[in-house]
Amino acid sequence: MEPADSPLMPRITALIRETGPLTFARFMELALYDEAHGYYTTGGGRAPSATSPIGQEGGDFFTAPSLSPILGKCLVRQLVEIDERLGHPPVFHLMEMGPGDGTLLRDLLQECQEQQVSLLPRLACILVERSPAFRRRQQETLAARQEQGVTIRWVDDLQSIADGSLTGTLLSNELVDAFPVHRVRMEQDGLRELYVTSRDHALQEQWGEPSTPELASFLSDLDVELPVGFTTEINLEAVKWIKQVAGVLDRGVVITIDYGHTAQDYFAPERKNGTLMGYHRHTVSTNPMTRVGAQDLTAHVNFSSLARTGERVGLTTTGFTNLQHFLMSLGIEELVEGCDQESEAVRAAARLLRPHGMGTTFKVLMQHKGLDVSTLRGLRHRAFFESALATA
């Protein structure tokens, strides 16, 4: 779909006419979450009965849970340890934010049942999902579990949850990379921000003054000085999100899985053009202004920012590792032992470990609150030293 054919284009161009150029973050917010035509709102512009935008067949991109149930199986081992550390609370909240098709929770619950973990009857699941199309998919995926008596409730956002009301684990996989980001560039005379404007019904980029001082503060909070010519993304939503996460958690662990980097790597010379990408039918696009509303847009996550902001609002950084080390720490090898090593299932699990693929590009950040832990099982093998999330 070319930009002019997109049902979102008239809305975006009208907004630009009314209010002037949009920050890139506002444009990305509309492209992904516009109430009528946003990519996530509609489920990738597909009919409700069509295949999901997540997954190998018919999708635009795949995620770890869409490839293999092994992540869910490994996570159960981590949840069991967190439950022990919490002293087996009468209700263990498992909140997943941005659950997509609901596959990860389905796999987790399946494993809990197969292993008969004592946690299962005490689980209260909460799914935080802003897209109606994805919420429907989750309800379908999880209907059988609900019929078996598992408690699952849905909320649109974290504001719907009372502060300090949760004890357990707050989990996300590939949520933060889907938040709208600001794009900035350092020039000789200071920081500039990217705006989207329109001419002759086509969208165009335009650089201007930063729309908010929060952009410069984001960088100075991380002690980062961008070199002249460096373009990057700033995820202010992620900062807001981790503060909300810290607010709703009383006692427990936050597990954030996503592709991304420490600040040091985020602002390394090889990323001088930023990390923003579009995905459509498993094809990568570097042009965010094409297929507006029909392609996924995403930027890598700055884990130092999540850790540092978290520390300020009561989340202690338990540790940081990559997906490969996380899964190995949780015993992925034992889980595939005895399986046919040539089977599709084992091959899919191995994809999550790939040293030049998901195994290293995906990272896992664990933060805790109201708990006395120095480490957790998933961090047994660490790809980073303790100071990796520090920036100076």
Q: Which residues bind ligand SAM (CB under 6 A)?
A: 40, 54, 63, 65-66, 97-100, 103, 128-131, 134, 157, 173-175, 178
What is the C-alpha separation between 205 and 197, in angstroms, rounded? 6
Please say which residue, 175 or 301, places its beta carbon nearer to ligand SAM.
175
In the bound complex, what is the minimum distance in angstroms from residue 57's beta carbon to ligand SAM?
15
Q: In this complex, which beta carbon is closest to ligand SAM, that of residue 98 or of residue 252?
A: 98
Closest CB to ligand SAM among residues 111, 129: 129
Is 77 within 8 Å of 333 (Cβ atoms)?
no
Residue 97 or 219: which CB sits closer to ligand SAM?
97
Closer CB to ligand SAM, 24 or 267, in the complex: 24
Q: How far is the CB of 144 from ligand SAM (least distance, A)?
A: 19
Which residue type is seen at 387?
A: S
Return the number of the residue (21 or 53) whose C-beta is nearest ligand SAM.
Answer: 53
Report the nearest approach of ligand SAM to the CB of residue 390 (Å): 28
Rank residues 186 and 257 by Cβ distance to ligand SAM and give the closer one: 257
The nearest distance, CB 4 to ligand SAM, in angstroms, is 26
Judged by CB, which is closer to ligand SAM: 82, or 161? Answer: 161
Q: How far is the CB of 175 from ligand SAM (least distance, A)?
A: 5
Residue 174 has φ and ψ, to the nearest 5°, of: 55, 40
Q: Nearest approach, Cβ of 255 to ligand SAM (angstroms)? A: 12
Q: Which is nearer to ligand SAM, 65 or 168 (CB)?
A: 65
User: What's the min distance (Å) between Cβ of 32 and ligand SAM?
Assistant: 7
Q: What is the 3-state secondary structure (H, E, C) of the chain?
A: CCHHHCCCHHHHHHHHHHHCCEEHHHHHHHHHHCCCCCHHHHCCCCCCCCCCCECCCCCCECCHHHHCCHHHHHHHHHHHHHHHHCCCCCCEEEEEECCCCCHHHHHHHHHHHHCCCCCHHHEEEEEECCCHHHHHHHHHHHHHHHHCCCEEEEECCHHHCCCCCEEEEEEEECCHHHCCCEEEEEECCEEEEEEEEEECCEEEEEEECCCCCHHHHHHHHCCCCCCCCCEEEECHHHHHHHHHHHHHEEEEEEEEEEEEECHHHHCCHHHCCCCCEEEECCEEECCCCCCCCCCEEECCEEHHHHHHHHHHCCCEEEEEEEHHHHHHHCCHHHHHCCCCCCCHHHHHHHHCCCCCCHHHHEEEEEEEECCCCCCCHHHCCCCCCHHHHCCC
- State in angstroms the smallest separation of the CB of 296 from ligand SAM: 7
CB of 62 to ligand SAM, least distance (A): 8
